[in-house]
Amino acid sequence: MSRLPLMALLPLLWVSLGAASAGAGDLDAVMSLLAAHRHARVDFVEQHFLAVLKRPVESFGIMTYDAPGRLEKRTVEPRIESLVLDGGTLTIERGGHTRTVDLASHPQILPFVESLRATLAGDRAALERAFRVEFAGTVARWTLTLTPDDPGIARTVARVRIEGSRDDLLTVEILEVDGDRSLMTLRDHQGS
Amino acid sequence: MSRRRTFVIGAWLGAVALAALIAVDARYLTDLSAFLPEHPTPAQRLLIDQLRTGPGSRLLLVALQGGDARARAGVSIGMARRLRADPEFSRVENGEELAAERDRAFLFEHRYLLSEAVTPEHFSVVGLRAALSDTVADLASPGGLALAPLAARDPTGEMLRIVDRLSRLRRPRTEDGVWVSADGARTLLVAETAAEGSDTDADERAIAAIRAAFDAARRESPGSAALDLVMSGPGVFAVDSRARIERAVVRLSIASSALVIAVLLAAYRSPAALLLGLLPVATGALAGVAAVARGFGAVHGITLGFGITLIGEAVDYSIYFFIQSMRGAPAAEPGVAPWERRLWPTLRLGMLTSVCGFSTLLAAGFPGLAQLGAYSISGLLAAAAVTRFVLPELVPRGFAVRDLGPAGARIERRLGAVRRAGSAALWTGALALACLALIVLFRARAGLWARELSSLSPIPMAAQKLYERLRGDLGAPDSLDLVVVTGDTQEAVLRGAERAAGALEPLIDRHVIGGFDSPANYLPSLAVQAARRASLPPPDVLGPDLERAARGLALDAGRLTPFLSDVEAARRSSLLTERDLQGTSLAAGLHALMLRQSGRWSALLPLYAPAGAAPRIDLARVGAALAAAGAGDARLVDLKRESDALYAAYLHEALRASLAGLLAIVVLLALALRSLTRAAHVLAPLGLAVLVVAAALALCKVPLTLLHLVGMLLIVAVGSNYALFFDARQAGDGQSALTLASLCLANLCTVIAFGLLCLSQVPVLEALGTTVAPGAFLALLFAALLTPRAGRGAGVERHA
């Protein structure tokens, strides 16, 4: 064994220690702020940076959240599609067909939906059930880094990073192990 | 005398031994086929195959209820793990994603043979560009990140198309990783037995294994004490009805025998008379079983249940013999001359009347009724023969039963009180009663007859309802409409199914149907696969075309080399056969929709009703679409209508047979009594009894089935004995008190035997009991009151 793995671990260790000491209280503060926020409606723009693509592709739509368990993501462009997470089931409506998926039997979807739902709900326990949670920054400007615990999920999803300010989410970035990533930017809903 | 006696007894014992040998050796069936036709139409054949050996017949539907959902899920997973290891089962599904990974790998590997989009146009520059643009849009969508790894190998989106298509088929909802009913109250599991659907023993073992797995899984899952196991399916029905029929046959035979014995013992006060009296019945029962076994090859369990009815009639013979012939028989008087002269002709006529009635059942189109006919005829003939020839030889000299004359005289006095109203008044009353019954029947005519085949089923209604509910929970087609394609080879029917699918597809958009399933969804025909393979371009064409198609799109054609090599691999691959599906859930899907019966293949395409407004499928439009598309080998089968038509045909046939039987009885009586008027007097009380019973059943809102009809035939058969004895008495035999006593005793035995059938939990036996028990009693009462009395009524009836 070379010394490389150990060396590589050092900065990680430092980051996590630092995060823990800096943010334990702030994480709880942000979580309770989020938990108090019962309803949200935001516009989103999502960009995918994928290896098969020469340039990133973009979609946008509206996301609605109702505490504690309902999250709806309605994409308007480039094609109409809706994802509704309600409790443990995810309903996907696309091209006139509806598909219902049970999260428990499809854990690979967890990082894509549960990360967002649990954060919006301020449900620290739920987050920590599925991810290793790291908090950085302050209540006014924070970053949550979620790393999947499940080795099966960790094979594809490297991490989810959520940036926010107080009880608002600003960006959600999902990074895959193969380098593909998506970046979702949220802002208050305009219009209706 | 002594030589004759030796001969008679020897011949009888020989016949009994032979019958016993045949009966012991006979094959006994307990499945539901007693009420399925022997010469079905093609559609009926399909129905029967479905019921008996079809893929559906091997399914056991299991539901867990009570407790909380998580505990149920735990038990479901534990049960499934055990059952999957059990060789009794070929398939166990509870919604767990076990096969999913293997399925996905299979679908992905063979996507160019399985995707219906694969055509030459799809792989032209224009087609490729359209498909690539779609994929870019997909990649931009929220699920895009998950699709990205596939995009380099499948940029035309075939996998998504296949998965979309398969996921359109209804499946149960999944919760906590396992299937649950739509309301979430039940957790569901489906087990397919490895043995044939008609193997009831295997079903019984499978059911026991499921119970054991449930108990074991419950022990290891905390909080599962409140859970309940519910099972349904054809296998459960077969086992249940076998048990129920066996229980009914055994218990009721024992109970009615015991009661009849008790009654006879009380009446005769002589164990010897009792034993002798049971000989005709026992011989008749044996002869009946032997005749059915020889004539039909196998005996239906339910036939033995009907056999109880034989006790009801055959025991009468010995009763008449003992009571009427033994009356004051002085020890010195040799032989049984008076019995042979006076009693036997009447008894013989009564027996022949019954045989006439039953003989019409012999021609019935399904074995249940035909066996009942054969059993009853041979049983009655044997019992009558034993009464006539063997009993007199066995009766010891000086043998006498208690004189029932005084009892008969008491009943006679009671009747006399009513009779004093006068013959005219009684007949007017009878006419009024008949009119009343007819009015009741006329008013109830719409719902008088049960219209469904299920009314013949030995399965109780509650069990049928549970089955329907579980089927609904599992998302089975809620209508029983099927498109069926039949052919000589699997390939032929798969191609037929594909043609039919082409006609059905547009009907989904027009909301005529909600959807359909097809075996070709799981395994396309070789022809279609070959066409798809042939539309894949060679690499020197596809490479440049792809380059051109991707121009200007976000997709990087340079990164799509995995796609090029996958297409090339598909071009060189061999076509898929049934064998390739092994180990995937597609095999189960295929098997569920393919039937192979005596060298013929059938593909079943169940139709789903459209959601919302129209609950029923407009079959005329489906039929028209099939015809227009030239899918001529596809036949539209409405299983429900088909099965009800089957039953209507039975009913029609049984009605016709009953009328023919009635006519035969009228002719027989008219000839034997040499008078139409006397025949009418004999038949009138029986007709009245039948009418009153039918009206009473109608009043109680019991829909009449075939078995009620058979019961009415039995009323006439049994009742004709009573009427004939009254007629004989009127015609010159003065032993009224004794005759009446013997008839009452015989009637009591009949009512006991049939009355006990009312307690059986086999619907068909219950129907028989509720008809015959009151009917036999009424027949006796009416015959006693209505038969004109010697010397008292108007003299015109005396013709003999």
Q: What is the 3-state secondary structure (H, E, C) of B593-641?
A: HEEEECCEEEEEEEEECCCCCCCCCCHHHHHHHHHHCCCCCEEEEEHHH
Residues of A in contact with B175 (CB under 8 A): 88-89, 102, 104
Residue B48 in this model has a pLDDT that exceeds 70: no
Return d(Cα B336, Cα B334) in angstroms, integer. Answer: 7
pLDDT at B267: 84
How far apart CA A69 and CA A87 sit, in angstroms, is 5
In the predicted structure, residue B731 carries a pLDDT above the cut 80: no
pLDDT value, residue B779: 92
Rounded CA-CA distance A135/A18 in Å is 10
pLDDT of residue B49: 62
CB-based burial label for B449 (10 Å; 0-12, 13-18, 19+): middle
What's the pLDDT band for B789 if we cut at 50, 70, 90? Answer: low
Chain B residue with minimum CA distance to A100? B173
Is B148 within 8 Å of A51 when comparing Cβ atoms? yes
Q: Do B177 and A102 touch (CB under 8 A)?
A: yes
Residue among B97, B141, B175 whose CB faces A59 most closely:
B141
The CA distance from A71 to the nearest CA of chain B, in Å, is 13
Q: Note the pLDDT of residue A5.
A: 40
pLDDT reported for residue B335: 45
pLDDT for res B525: 92
Whole-angstrom CA distances from A160 to A28, A123, B302, B629 are 19, 16, 68, 53
pLDDT tens sequence across B585-636: 787 778 777 877 777 888 888 887 776 545 567 777 888 888 887 766 777 8
Q: Do A97 and B168 touch (CB under 8 A)?
A: yes
- Hey, are the CB atoms on A99 and B144 less than 8 Å from each other? no
Q: Which residues of A touch B (CB under 8 A)?
A: 46, 48, 50-59, 73, 75, 78-79, 81, 83, 88-89, 92, 94-95, 97, 99-102, 104-106, 108-109, 112, 156, 174, 176, 178, 180-182
At residue A20, the pLDDT reads: 43
Helices marked H in B26-157: 42-52, 69-84, 100-109, 111-114, 125-140, 144-151
- The angle, 0 to 180 degrees and rounded to 10, between the axes of the packed helices B271-296 and B367-385 is 140
For the beta carbon of residue B541, count every other beta carbon within 10 angstroms. Answer: 12
Quote the DSSP letter at residue B175. E
Query: Is the predicted pLDDT of residue B69 greater than 80, yes or no?
Result: yes
Using the Cβ of B560 and the Cβ atoms of chain A, whether some distance falls under 8 Å is answered with yes
Is the CB of A52 less than 8 angstroms away from the CB of B96? no
pLDDT score for A13: 38
**pLDDT tens digits for B528-556?**
999 999 999 998 888 888 888 888 888 88
Q: Looking at beta carbons, which residues of chain B come within 8 Å of A59? A: 140-142, 144
> If you ran DSSP here, which 8-state letter would residue B82 be given?
H
Query: B68 — contact with chain A (CB < 8 Å)?
Result: no
Choose the most confident range, by mean pLDDT, from A6-10, B200-204, B480-484.
B200-204
CB B718 within 8 A of CB B229: no
Neighbours of B59 (CB within 10 A): 25
Give the three-state DSSP class for B334. coil
- pLDDT greater at residue B627 or residue B40: B627
pLDDT of residue B290: 92
Question: What pLDDT is stored for residue A3 in this prediction?
Answer: 36
Of B157-161, B385-389, B773-777, the range with the lowest mean pLDDT is B157-161
pLDDT at A1: 35
User: CA B299, CA B372: separation in Å to the nearest integer?
Assistant: 10
| Torsion of the alpha carbons at B671, B675, B677 and B683, rounded to the nearest 10 | -30
Rounded Cα gap, residues B630 and B623, in angstroms:
11
Predicted confidence band of residue B40 (pLDDT cuts 50, 70, 90): low
- B389-393, B402-406, B519-523, B526-530: least confidently modelled range: B402-406
Angle at B159 between CA B158 and CA B161, to 5 degrees: 65
Mean pLDDT over the full length of chain B: 80
Instruction: Using the predicted structure, report yes or no on whether residue B673 has a pLDDT greater than 70.
Output: yes
| Residue percentage of chain B with pLDDT more than 70 | 85
Q: What is the mean pLDDT of residues B667-680?
A: 86
d(CA B40, CA B43): 8
Which of A148-157, B191-200, B565-574 is the most confident on average? B565-574
**Per-residue pLDDT tens digits for B758-778:** 887 777 788 888 999 999 999
Identity at B110, one-letter amino acid code:
H
Residue of B97, B176, B555 lying closest to A53 (CB–CB):
B555
Reduced to 3 states (helix: H, G, I; strand: E, B; else coil), residue B477 is coil
Task: Report pTM.
Answer: 0.64
Distance between A2 CA and the closest CA of chain B, angstroms: 32
**What confidence score (pLDDT) does residue A10 get?**
38
DSSP letters, chain A, are --SHHHHHHHHHHHHHHHHHHHHHHHHHHHHHHHHH--EEEEEEEEEEE-TTBSS-EEEEEEEEEETTTEEEEEEEESS-EEEEEETTEEEEEETTEEEEEEGGG-GGGHHHHHHHHHHHHT-HHHHHHHEEEEEEE-SSSEEEEEEE-SHHHHTTEEEEEEEEETTEEEEEEEEETTS-EEEEEEEEPP--
Inform me whether the pLDDT recorded for B696 exceeds 90: yes
Window B:117-136, CB contacts with A under 8 Å: 136
**For residue A159, which residues of chain B lie inside 8 Å, CB to CB?**
none
Residue in chain B nearest A60 by alpha carbon:
B141
Give the closest-approach CA distance of A77 to chain B in angstroms. Answer: 8
How confident is residue B246, by pLDDT bands cut at 50, 70 and 90?
A: confident
* Residue numbers in A near B151 (CB within 8 A): 50, 52
Instruction: Verify whether the Cβ–Cβ distance A52 to B556 is below 8 Å.
Output: yes
- Give the phi and the psi of residue A142 in degrees, each rounded to 5: -125, 160
| ipTM of predicted assembly, 2 dp | 0.75
Alpha-carbon gap: A118 to the closest alpha carbon of chain B (Å):
18
Which pLDDT belongs to residue B762?
A: 76
Alpha helical stretches, state H, B457-575:
461-473, 490-509, 526-534, 539-550, 561-572
Q: Which of A79-93, B5-19, B600-614, B686-700 has the lowest mean pLDDT?
A: B600-614
- Which region, left, alpha or beta, applies to residue B682 given φ > 0 means left and ψ of -120 to 50 means alpha? alpha
CA end-to-end distance (rounded Å), chain A: 61
CB B575 within 8 A of CB B530: yes
Question: Are the C-beta atoms of residues B788 and B797 closer than 8 Å to each other?
Answer: yes
Q: What's residue B381's pLDDT?
A: 92
CB contact under 8 A, A52 and B167: no
User: CB neighbours of A123 closer than 8 A, spacing ≥ 6?
Assistant: A31, A35, A68, A117
Among B139, B140, B174, beta carbon nearest to A105 = B174
Q: Which residues pair with B604 in a beta bridge?
A: B484
- Among B95, B145, B164, the residue with its CB nearest the CB of A180 is B145
Highest-confidence segment of A59-68, B38-47, B191-200 = A59-68
Residues 6+ apart with CB under 8 A from B778: B688, B689, B692, B693
Is A73 in Cβ contact with B142 (below 8 Å)?
Answer: yes
Closest CA to B646 of B7, B80, B45: B45
Ranges of chain A with pLDDT below 70? 1-24, 96-97, 102, 104-107, 191-192
Whether B374 and B300 have beta carbons less than 8 Å apart is answered as: no
Half-sphere exposure of B30 (CA within 13 A, CB side): 22
Chain B residue with minimum CA distance to A153 = B146
Angle value at C-alpha B516, between B580 and B624, nearest 5 degrees:
125
What is the pairing mode between strands A70-77 and A57-66? antiparallel
What pLDDT sits at residue B371? 86
Max avg pLDDT among B407-421, B599-613, B711-725 = B711-725
- Considering only the beta carbons, identify the residue of B145, B151, B560 that sits closest to A174: B145
Using the Cβ of B174 and the Cβ atoms of chain A, whether some distance falls under 8 Å is answered with yes
Nearest to B148 among A50, A81, A94 (CB): A50
Contact A52 B152 (CB under 8 A): yes
| Inter-chain Cβ pairs, chain A and chain B, closer than 8 A | 105
pLDDT at B220 over 80: yes
Angle CA B367–B369–B373, to nearest 5: 110
Helix (H, G, I), strand (E, B) or coil at B685: helix
Q: How far apart are CA B643 and CA B50, in angstroms?
A: 12
Confidence of residue B794 (pLDDT cuts 50, 70, 90): very low
Nearest Cα to B774, choosing from B683, B689, B684?
Answer: B689
